[in-house]
Amino acid sequence: MYLWDANILRAFGQGHATLRSYLLRVPWSEIALPSVVVAEVLRGRCDFALKATPVEVPLAHQRLLDTQQMLSHFQIVVFDAACVTVMEDLRQRHRRRQRYADLMIAAIVVAGRHVLVTRNQADFRDVLPRAQLANWIDDPPEASLP
């Protein structure tokens, strides 16, 4: 399963051309979002909906619903009990300071033997093997898909 980091979801909303060429090659059933990214995106939309100025509130609430609808088209891989152990192991083995959400995402990827699709290779290079990292924005599909 290819798990998308938030920056790939961002590119999806932007209609990125390279991402489109991947989507034409990879079955949608092989693509999912980690529950961490879903939580982050919904938190952002909820914050906007609850903290917007009165004039912005209609837009903010519409965007919350739009985003929720978009996310409903994705499969979601949940951070489950197995991921807790993996995450703890990753924290022990990689002393370099990691970002908390990145570690949670890496744990989901390792526990489920998935491939993480992200533009942010730098923050995952230490915790994930090269074979479990992909960049569908900067690398052409001919070079990275089997």
Partner 1 sequence: MQYTLILTEKPEGGIQVTIPALPACTLEAATRDEAIRLAREAIAQLVSRSEIVQIEIPQQPRATGQPRGVPWEWFGAAKADPTWDVLFDDLEQHREATRDVE
Strands 2-4 and 31-34: parallel
Q: Is 92 in the site for partner 1 (CB under 8 A)?
A: no
DSSP 8-state symbol, 56: T
* Residue closer to partner 1 (CB basis): 91 or 115: 91
Considering just the CA atoms, what is the radius of gyration of the chain in Å?
A: 16
Q: How far is the CB of 139 from partner 1 (least distance, A)?
A: 19
Strands 31-34 and 75-77: parallel
Q: Is 90 in the site for partner 1 (CB under 8 A)?
A: no
Q: Is 128 in the site for partner 1 (CB under 8 A)?
A: no
| Sole window of 95-103, 107-115, 129-137, 138-146 interacting with partner 1 (rule: CB under 8 A) | 95-103
How wide is the angle at C-alpha 68 spanned by C-alphas 67 and 71, nearest 5°? Answer: 85
| CB 128 within 8 Å of CB 100 | no
Q: Is 45 in the site for partner 1 (CB under 8 A)?
A: yes
Q: How far apart are CA 24 and CA 33, in angstroms?
A: 18
Q: Is 68 in the site for partner 1 (CB under 8 A)?
A: no
Q: Total residues at the site for partner 1 (CB under 8 A)?
A: 43
Identified binder of partner 1 from the candidate list 70, 82, 84, 145, rule CB under 8 A? 70
| Sole window of 11-19, 80-88, 110-118, 131-139 interacting with partner 1 (rule: CB under 8 A) | 11-19
* Residue closer to partner 1 (CB basis): 69 or 131: 69
Q: Is 7 in the site for partner 1 (CB under 8 A)?
A: yes
- Helix (H/G/I), strand (E/B), else coil: 86: helix
Instruction: Determine if residue 15 is left, alpha or beta; phi over 0 gives left, psi from -120 to 50 gives alpha, anything else beta.
Output: left
